[in-house]
Structure 1
Amino acid sequence: MPDTGTLAGDLEQYARQTLDDLSGPQGKLLLRTLVAVRQGPESEAELPPALLRRYDELQALLDRAAARGEHPPTVQDVVDLIVAPMYTGLLLDGTPGDEDTARRLVDRIHRLSQTS
């Protein structure tokens, strides 16, 4: 997880890393795997360990921001407002977006957290 010294910087770097992961050759494979896991016979089970680690790492990033006196969103907010749109883009358009997409999604979550 990135540590740029600011929540906005960390989230933008996180979004870019996610974008890179999904844009690479393994992106569509990852999407298919996630769908298969969540739709399979054990779909009520917890997320795969790799995804649980990702959530834990993201929580650590948000906890670091809180310790600096910033007001971070929840992990679920980051997933809903940054990660999910990238997966949706990959699913519907064949691409999770570009760096402008990452910046726009981080700006959106930042604006929403300022109004809460």
Structure 2
Amino acid sequence: MIVAIMLLGCVVNTEQLVEQGDWYAVGYRDGIRGNNQRSVSELAKLGSTKHGDYEQGYLIGIEEFCNPNHAYQMGLTGKYYNGVCEGIEGAQKFRMEWQRGWYEYSN
């Protein structure tokens, strides 16, 4: 299912997902990209929200994003990290690996 959502993410934009009522995919997309979780008011601006679906998708996406095994490469390619992994198991290792990559990218 996750592969299908990732493939879907390449073709379908957020507005289309909202039109389809696929709030899980909207949340997953936000999480896997390392974006901050949208507030209830931000979601309401998009349309009739299924907040539980959005949150469930976001949690799965953020869990995948916060994998410390990929953090170094993210930093090395210049992907900015805004602290979304804090409070998740492995957050400290993720941050350290990202910083190591970011340092190499910046120098």
Pairwise TM-score range, normalised by the shorter structure: under 0.3
| TM-score, L = length of structure 2 | 0.26
| TM-score, L = length of structure 1 | 0.25
